[in-house]
A and B are shown apart, each in its own frame.
Chain A
Amino acid sequence: MTSTGVASQTRRLGFHPGAWICWSTCAGIVAFVTTDPVYLLLLWAVAWFVYASHRSAGATAASFRIFVLAGVLALIVRVALVFLGTVNAANVAFAAREGLRLATILVVFGTFNAVTDPFAVVRLAPRRFHEPALAAALALSIAPRTVASVQTVREAQRLRGINVSPLRSLPALAVPVLERGMEDALTLAESMDARGHGGGRRTRYRPQPFTPAAATIAASAALAAGTFLSASFGGWAELHPASLARPEADPLLLVAIAVLAVPGMLKGERA
């Protein structure tokens, strides 16, 4: 049996998924328009804060760690690529900043994943986009389950004397993991179909209201993204400092990033 969590036995709290979509899009925009490590690292801290205050109990919460790891990996790979060409301090610093930007976007996405239920998001999609949204949600929910199943499979193989190292005995690990992942996805798809998914007009059971708190989250995030966009297009602050320059942070932009932490300060609402 899978493990049981205690936290999730209390009632679930949260915000309208729309608020989260807005928040993560805006945080993503902020990360996208700058390569200044000061802003980016602050954004990591904000993302972690938001994740820690609102992570959901489901399997997707585990995916935050995976996205952080993926981010770190992206950073390393980006820097490593420099060593294929001309290596000098400026190049390495430039690559590191680029890598950090990509990593930050991944972390923001990981936060979004951890605080929402992908299928709750699907239910928001307009009917016309239902199928692609559903496919995306399935993909998102399968990834963390696959990671969990790596653990199970490694243990199972160890118990028959096969020590699974990723290099030496890949099939012993990969085949069962992929097969289980596929099987899970198929069972889920079958079950959704058998339960009438996509059969016609849908209604909502106790839809989560878009409350003032949710509106606050959306508005504050939009404000932060707006500030960064205006700096990016207006050019009133340096968002891409020269590679070896000591970064100088603009106070207004620091405030904008702090504003992104608003969801972490609000208490979730009864879903």
Chain B
Amino acid sequence: MTPPALRYDGVSFTYPDADRPALDAVDATIDDGSFALVVGPTGAGKSTFLRAANGLVPHFTGGVFSGRVHVDGRDTLASAPRKLAGVVAFVPQDPAASFVLDRVEDELAYGMENLGVDPAHMRRRVEEMLDLLDLAELRERSVRTLSGGERQRVAIAAAMAAGPRILVLDEPTSQLDPQGAEHVMAALQRLVHDHAMTVVLAEHRLERVAGWVDVAFGVDEGRVFTGDPAAVIHRLAVGPPVARLGRLVGWDPVPLTVRDARTAARAHANPVANGHASLGQTSGEVIVAANALEAKHAQRRVLRAIDLQLRQGEIVALMGRNGAGKTTLLRTLAGVHDVARGSVIVDGHAPQPGVDVALCPQESDAVLFSETVEDEVRATLAARGNAHGAVSPWLERLGIVALARQHPRDLSAGQRLLVATAAIAATGAPVLFLDEPTRGLDPDSKEHLARFLRSHTADGGVVMFATHDVELAAAVATRAVMLAGGEIIADGSPADVLGDSHVFAPQMTRVFGPGWLTPEQVAEALT
């Protein structure tokens, strides 16, 4: 009998200098050939759980480790990660940071070179991987020039090429647009079905993965429990919007996918003829106005003929594929990217970054430099000449009061993102831009963020955020703007803009038709 792909026996682990364990007496078995999801709140220990699979924890981290992890029957304590490279492959959260060589093809071959694979076999294997993940067109490209989705597929192919039995991925879709995420999930499923691989992945955006996986591991404060995905998701009280709806209206079983939800909706009451989501145009004053705006990046035009007005009280979701120009648009409106043609007016004059416009960049860690979370916010207040301003309201509004005295470096990626958001928002600028504000955020933190955005606009501000997270857009946006190839191709109410798209439609729209955006809205109509 073959050993299970992965077995954790009473694993406890505490990072150096941490006061509580990141993993606490974890027992888990992942069977050969399963497609497993690891789910849990931000900072619960998901990454640690994954990194223990090939011994990066504790070989690379130090700290106190007890118990045993066996991967394909081999003890991770007895073998260094490099000795396990032929058995288990790991794809970290930011694949770009893990690339060793410059060219796609070389990157794919790198792991095999290390394992001493015969060159002729290596050639064949690289070709197979290029086909399997649909990368043949990119083989000569520099990894630095690829889009987020392409990078992720290259990282998976590179991990796979060495022929491991087990593939471990940390949030593989967090940087991807919905279409890119779909491609990656389909590729992973093919590995499980056709190539008998075991795939383990952590993910927050359950709407993207719940339908694909066949077993789930819930992680909560270092404890791990396992079961059928529906049961685990139910127990953590998280889930894609269809599951939230199921819980709200008491469907049993709680649906996990759009298809389940359609079946359930047919069996129970079929709700309503049409959505009523039209929120009406806000009629606040125009604060930000772009006229015939054009911007370039490395001599390429990335924005063309942008006409856009943002009004007080609006929460605008800026959507579009990877590389559509969303980041450049935010940066140009915030006054930190050069305008090639046209104009940007904020409150009657050119935008003043940090004064009337604030932007939380995608690489939000670039903001953080203080010793504690509260100092981080205080630094912003001081820079705005308000050194004695109150810090706690900002922390409260983002739900991070409990972290006030911690060092930002010790927080999870999602928590750091919230800290950066607080530090940026504390400028008090009425115009707030956020670039991918939900990367790595669990549903609870997302809820805090949503509340924060609403309160910002209620105070007379305006918010625009670039996102791939259609469910966030559906839940909080009052308006959606769709970019493609640097042009605005749709601008209107989220119900119209998102409902009209195959790729960007939120789950409620997929189940109940245009006009329905959030589970709360549907639940209200159903009861």
The answer to whether B116 and A202 touch across the interface, beta carbons within 8 angstroms, is yes
The answer to whether B383 and A12 touch across the interface, beta carbons within 8 angstroms, is no
The answer to whether A152 and B98 touch across the interface, beta carbons within 8 angstroms, is no
The answer to whether B424 and A159 touch across the interface, beta carbons within 8 angstroms, is yes
One of A1, A5, A176, A191 near B362 (C-beta < 8 A): A1
- The reply on B369 being an interface residue by CB < 8 A is yes
The answer to whether B379 and A162 touch across the interface, beta carbons within 8 angstroms, is yes
- The reply on A184 being an interface residue by CB < 8 A is yes
| Chain B 395-430 near chain A by CB (<8 Å), digits 1 or 0 | 000000000000001000000000000011011010
Interface range on chain B: under 10, 10 to 19, 20 to 34, or 35 or more? 35 or more
One of B89, B119, B358 near A195 (C-beta < 8 A): B89
One of B82, B140, B159 near A12 (C-beta < 8 A): B140
> Complex: how many Å from CA A66 to CA B498?
46
> Complex: how many Å from CA A157 to CA B420?
11
| Chain B 346-380 near chain A by CB (<8 Å), digits 1 or 0 | 00000001110111111111111100000000011
> Complex: how many Å from CA A197 to CA B98?
13
| Chain B 153-167 near chain A by CB (<8 Å), digits 1 or 0 | 000001100100000
The answer to whether B384 and A161 touch across the interface, beta carbons within 8 angstroms, is yes
Residues of B within 8 A of A191 (CB): 90, 92, 97-100
- Number of residues on chain A facing chain B (CB within 8 A): 63
With A8-B145, A199-B85, A202-B116 as contacts: A180 and B56 at CB distance below 8 Å: no
> Complex: how many Å from CA A217 to CA B144?
29
The answer to whether A12 and B103 touch across the interface, beta carbons within 8 angstroms, is yes
> Complex: how many Å from CA A93 to CA B364?
49
One of B92, B336, B384 near A158 (C-beta < 8 A): B336
The answer to whether B54 and A194 touch across the interface, beta carbons within 8 angstroms, is yes
The answer to whether B336 and A204 touch across the interface, beta carbons within 8 angstroms, is no
The answer to whether B354 and A205 touch across the interface, beta carbons within 8 angstroms, is no
- The reply on B327 being an interface residue by CB < 8 A is yes
One of A1, A8, A161 near B148 (C-beta < 8 A): A1
The answer to whether B298 and A190 touch across the interface, beta carbons within 8 angstroms, is no
Residues of A within 8 A of B110 (CB): 195, 205
- The reply on B515 being an interface residue by CB < 8 A is no
- The reply on B102 being an interface residue by CB < 8 A is yes
| Chain A 55-85 near chain B by CB (<8 Å), digits 1 or 0 | 0111100000000000000000000000000
| Chain A 189-215 near chain B by CB (<8 Å), digits 1 or 0 | 111111111111111111000000000
One of A162, A194, A271 near B89 (C-beta < 8 A): A194
- The reply on B451 being an interface residue by CB < 8 A is no
Tell me, rounded to whole Å, the shortest Cβ–Cβ distance linking B288 to chain A: 15
Residues of A within 8 A of B426 (CB): 160
The answer to whether B142 and A8 touch across the interface, beta carbons within 8 angstroms, is yes
One of A8, A163, A198, A205 near B144 (C-beta < 8 A): A8
The chain A residue sitting closest to B409, CB to CB, is: A179
Tell me, rounded to whole Å, the shortest Cβ–Cβ distance linking A143 to chain B: 16
> Complex: how many Å from CA A3 to CA B296?
11
The answer to whether A197 and B102 touch across the interface, beta carbons within 8 angstroms, is no
The answer to whether A9 and B90 touch across the interface, beta carbons within 8 angstroms, is no
| Chain A 148-160 near chain B by CB (<8 Å), digits 1 or 0 | 0100110111111
- The reply on B136 being an interface residue by CB < 8 A is no
The answer to whether B112 and A57 touch across the interface, beta carbons within 8 angstroms, is no
The answer to whether B92 and A187 touch across the interface, beta carbons within 8 angstroms, is yes
Residues of B within 8 A of A4 (CB): 145, 297-298, 300, 323
With A8-B144, A9-B145, A203-B116 as contacts: A193 and B92 at CB distance below 8 Å: no
The answer to whether B369 and A203 touch across the interface, beta carbons within 8 angstroms, is no
**Among residues 171 to 187 in chain A, which have CB atoms less than 8 Å away from a CB atom of chain B?**
171-176, 179-180, 183-184, 186-187
Residues of B within 8 A of A3 (CB): 297-298
With A8-B142, A196-B85 as contacts: A159 and B358 at CB distance below 8 Å: yes
> Complex: how many Å from CA A103 to CA B277?
67
The answer to whether B369 and A175 touch across the interface, beta carbons within 8 angstroms, is yes
- The reply on B80 being an interface residue by CB < 8 A is yes
The answer to whether B86 and A159 touch across the interface, beta carbons within 8 angstroms, is no
- The reply on B506 being an interface residue by CB < 8 A is no
One of B98, B105, B383 near A161 (C-beta < 8 A): B383
| Chain B 110-142 near chain A by CB (<8 Å), digits 1 or 0 | 111111111100110010000000000000111
One of A120, A149, A158, A193 near B354 (C-beta < 8 A): A158
Which of A156, A202, A206 gathers most chain B CB within 10 Å? A156
- The reply on A98 being an interface residue by CB < 8 A is no
The answer to whether A5 and B145 touch across the interface, beta carbons within 8 angstroms, is yes
Tell me, rounded to whole Å, the shortest Cβ–Cβ distance linking B91 to chain A: 9
Tell me, rounded to whole Å, the shortest Cβ–Cβ distance linking B12 to chain A: 22
Residues of B within 8 A of A5 (CB): 142, 144-145, 298
The answer to whether B358 and A160 touch across the interface, beta carbons within 8 angstroms, is yes
The answer to whether A202 and B114 touch across the interface, beta carbons within 8 angstroms, is yes
Which of A6, A120, A155, A198 gathers most chain B CB within 10 Å? A155
One of A184, A198, A204 near B82 (C-beta < 8 A): A198
One of B119, B322, B366 near A156 (C-beta < 8 A): B366
Tell me, rounded to whole Å, the shortest Cβ–Cβ distance linking B117 to chain A: 6
The chain A residue sitting closest to B95, CB to CB, is: A191
> Complex: how many Å from CA A9 to CA B138?
9
- The reply on B72 being an interface residue by CB < 8 A is no
One of A174, A183, A196 near B86 (C-beta < 8 A): A196
With A2-B144, A196-B85 as contacts: A117 and B98 at CB distance below 8 Å: no
The answer to whether B119 and A199 touch across the interface, beta carbons within 8 angstroms, is no
The chain B residue sitting closest to A154, CB to CB, is: B366
- The reply on B9 being an interface residue by CB < 8 A is no
**Among residues 76 to 130 in chain A, which have CB atoms less than 8 Å away from a CB atom of chain B?**
117, 119-120, 123
Tell me, rounded to whole Å, the shortest Cβ–Cβ distance linking A103 to chain B: 28
The chain B residue sitting closest to A169, CB to CB, is: B383
- The reply on A246 being an interface residue by CB < 8 A is no
Contacts A190-B98, A205-B119 known; 14 new A-B pairs at CB < 8 A: A1-B322, A8-B141, A9-B145, A12-B142, A58-B144, A119-B102, A156-B363, A160-B427, A162-B383, A176-B365, A180-B366, A187-B97, A199-B114, A200-B115
Q: 6 A-B Cβ contacts within 8 A?
A: A1-B322, A10-B140, A149-B366, A160-B424, A205-B105, A205-B113
